[in-house]
Amino acid sequence: MAGLGRPELWLELEQEGPRAKGSVRSSTGTSQILPLNGLVEGTIAGDVFSFRQTDGPGRGELAVRGDEMTGEVAIGQSVPMILRRVER
């Protein structure tokens, strides 16, 4: 995602036990490269969150460390991601 400025990906999740569900949306700049907008569901095993978009082709696997998740998100091709927890 180099050269794209500061693209943003918003992931809102609710966790119940080892399962999580919620929504994902990408900023305008990101949506051209990574058009993720819609519902997601996934599982948490240890410190790894694996998810898939329920209404589209997106998927990902992110390692959770404190307020940060790092890993790869893909729609056809994988893109490295760093996601940080923000206050609503």
Nearest C-alpha neighbor of 69 from the set 57, 78, 58, 60: 60
Residue 78 has a pLDDT of 80
Residues of the chain short of pLDDT 70, as ranges, are 1-7, 28-35, 88
Residue 24 has a pLDDT of 86
Residue 5 has a pLDDT of 53
Domains of the chain by residue range = 16-84
pTM: 0.78
% helix / strand / coil in the chain, to the nearest 5?
5, 60, 30
Residue 33 has a pLDDT of 52
Q: Distance (Å, rounded) from C-alpha 34 to C-alpha 52?
A: 14
